[in-house]
Amino acid sequence: MQSTSQQQILAVNDVGCGFDKAQQGELKVLDGVNLTLKEGEIVGLLGRSGSGKSTLLRIIAGLIKPTEGHVEYCGKPLSGPAEGVAMVFQTFALFPWLTVLENVEAGLEALGVAAKERRERALSAIDLIGLDGFENAYPRELSGGMRQRVGFARALVVNPTLLLMDEPFSALDVLTAETLRTDMLDLWNAGSMPIKSVLIVTHNIEEAVFMCDRILLLSSNPGRVGAEIVVPFPHPRNRLAPAFRQLVDDIYAKMTARKQTAGAPRSELHIGSWMPAVSTNLLAGLIETLAVAPYHGRADLPELASSLRLEVDDLFPVAEFLQHLGFAEVSEGDIALTMPGRLFAEEGTQARKLRFAEMLLRAIPLANHIRTVLNERPGQRAPLDRFKQELEDFLSDQAAEETLSAVIDWGRYAEIFSYNDQSEMFSLEDVEA
């Protein structure tokens, strides 16, 4: 397994993961994923929601079995959670009934380490991570940042070879997250941790460029490794350096360019396409912001994201939805309002609704489908279940529910149909035909 310079820690070979669908066969979350982790590197998995990045991380952690392909860890095939692989969770996942010290000791205890050694190792991990003084506190007494430090201490104390991190900073506020990132990088660069390699899942592009030596872009539905980007900067990195900004811009461009290369834009939606919930207020707000100074109809996505404090997972769905509706064009990391978008920005409430309804019926097949069915039905009523079952041929149950609730929200705003949540019925009542 000795490569030219560095030893390989982990290899993921042609891994796929899916779940059974009665009618459609298998629905894939991941498809043909390959990746390797070498000694001494931090690798980022960057992708949007629905790209299966968390699933991939859990496959590597041995928590989920892949349906295809296999994972090799330290040269041996992985079956179940391996020793030497520790994980840090987005939600911290601390046991609320254990103190900080007991939480850190829990992993050692499960390994059968003797009480005295356990205590010593736990205390030194707590010391390393800057938690001294909090040993006897319960998690609920701590702030989010301190809780995640416990999460780190608990992972480090077992002397892992590979550290897995599942969006470890996304539940923290901006400043706390930055402190934890730099502390973690300081420890890594000082070599004070036994960890040989780190794999970090994130949807934050800046975070990935700030921390990683290598970034893998995961595309969505199904998740595949779309591109690999090497980050050449030495630590500590300066977020404001032009080269840093340029790389962030490039990654934005790569992540938005994907759709165009796949085929003709906008025409790829069908009834069973997954739709993320995008609030109509956010949509209107973004159009208004784009229409006026300093953007005057065109903006750089990374710049927009940082000035609006929106993360990729918040910004991309809105931008994409605008593009589907024909209110904007997104390409090469830029977003530009189209003519209907500019008109929308200047109109009053009722005119906006009419324009939105027109665009919605034209661009979103599911919305159009619901309206058509209601028009055809004698009582102009149809149950939710009817559409849910149709969607479940294409999507997982959860994705079907998300999509329907997004479309219901848009349809209500556009007044193209009404929906009663108590009877779970669509109808054309209260809607002028």
Partner 1 sequence: MRMMIPVIHGSARRLMPNRWDFVAFPLILCIIVLGSTGFRETLAPLTTLQTQTISLDPAALPGYALRTTLRMLAAMLASLVFSLAYGTLAAKSRRAEKVLVPILDILQSVPVLGYISFTVTFFIALFPGRVLGAECAAIFAIFTSQAWNMTFSFYQSMRTIPRDLNEVSSSFHLSAWQRFWKLEVPFSLPGLIWNMMMSMSGGWFFVVASEAITVGNKNIVLPGIGGYLAQAIAARDLGAVGWVILTMTLVILLYDQFLFRPLVAWADKFRMEDTASQAAPQSWLLDLIRRARLIQWLLRPPGQLVLWLAKLPLRLPFGHAAAGSVRKPSRGGDLLWNVLVLLATVFFLWRVVSFVGQEVGLSEVMHVFGMGLATLVRVLVLIALASLVWVPLGVMIGLRPHLAQRIQPLAQFLAAFPTNLLFPIFVVGIVYFHANPDIWLSPLIVLGTQWYILFNVIAGASAFPNDFREAATNFRIRGWQWWRKVILPGIMPYYITGAITASGGAWNASIVSELVSWGNTRIEAYGLGAYIARTTAAGDFPKIILGIAVMSLFVVLFNRLLWRPMYAYAESKLN
- Binding residues for partner 1, per CB under 8 A? 19-20, 58, 61-65, 67, 80-81, 83, 85-87, 89-93, 95-97, 106-107, 109-111, 138, 140-141, 422
User: Please, which residue, 83 or 397, has the CB nearer to partner 1?
Assistant: 83
Any idea what the Cα angle at residue 99 is, between residues 190 and 167, rounded to 5°? Answer: 50
User: Please, which residue, 125 or 337, has the CB nearer to partner 1?
Assistant: 125
User: Please, which residue, 140 or 309, has the CB nearer to partner 1?
Assistant: 140
User: Please, which residue, 80 or 294, has the CB nearer to partner 1?
Assistant: 80
User: Please, which residue, 147 or 352, has the CB nearer to partner 1?
Assistant: 147
Query: What minimum distance in Å lies between the beta carbon of 91 and partner 1?
Result: 5
Q: Are 381 and 393 in contact (CB under 8 A)?
A: no
Query: What minimum distance in Å lies between the beta carbon of 200 and partner 1?
Result: 16
User: Please, which residue, 67 or 338, has the CB nearer to partner 1?
Assistant: 67
User: Please, which residue, 164 or 357, has the CB nearer to partner 1?
Assistant: 164
CA atoms in the 13 A half-sphere facing the CB of 222:
17
User: Please, which residue, 81 or 265, has the CB nearer to partner 1?
Assistant: 81
Query: What minimum distance in Å lies between the beta carbon of 388 and partner 1?
Result: 18
Helices 339-346, 280-291: crossing angle, 10 deg rounding: 100
Query: What minimum distance in Å lies between the beta carbon of 65 and partner 1?
Result: 5
Q: How far is CA 130 from CA 57, 183, 196, 223, 288, in A?
A: 27, 9, 21, 37, 45
Query: What minimum distance in Å lies between the beta carbon of 196 and partner 1?
Result: 17
Query: What minimum distance in Å lies between the beta carbon of 138 and partner 1?
Result: 6
Query: What minimum distance in Å lies between the beta carbon of 194 and partner 1?
Result: 17
Query: What minimum distance in Å lies between the beta carbon of 124 and partner 1?
Result: 15
User: Please, which residue, 110 or 339, has the CB nearer to partner 1?
Assistant: 110
Q: Which of 155, 157, 159 is closest to 168 using CA atoms?
A: 155
User: Please, which residue, 68 or 213, has the CB nearer to partner 1?
Assistant: 68
Query: What minimum distance in Å lies between the beta carbon of 231 and partner 1?
Result: 28
SS3 letters across the chain: CECCCCEEEEEEEEEEEEEEECCCEEEEEEEEEEEEEECCEEEEEEECCCCCHHHHHHHHCCCCCCCEEEEEECCEECCCCCCCEEEECCCCCCCCCCCHHHHHHHHHHHHCCCHHHHHHHHHHHHHHCCCCCCCCCCHHHCCHHHHHHHHHHHHHCCCCCEEEEECCCCCCCHHHHHHHHHHHHHHHHHCCCCCCEEEEEECCHHHHHHHCCEEEEEECCCEEEEEEEECCCCCCCCCCCHHHHHHHHHHHHHHHHHHHHHCCCCCCCCCCCCCCCCCHHHHHHHHHHHHCCCCCCEEEHHHHHHHHCCCHHHHHHHHHHHHHHCCEEEECCEEEECHHHHHHHHCCHHHHHHHHHHHHHHHCHHHHHHHHHHHHCCCCEEEHHHHHHHHCCCCCHHHHHHHHHHHHHHHHHHCCCEEECCCCEEECCCCCC
Query: What minimum distance in Å lies between the beta carbon of 257 and partner 1?
Result: 33
User: Please, which residue, 67 or 331, has the CB nearer to partner 1?
Assistant: 67
Query: What minimum distance in Å lies between the beta carbon of 177 and partner 1?
Result: 18
| 90 phi, psi to nearest 5 deg | -60, -40
Any idea what the Cα angle at residue 120 is, between residues 116 and 126, rounded to 5°? Answer: 140
Residue type, 256: T
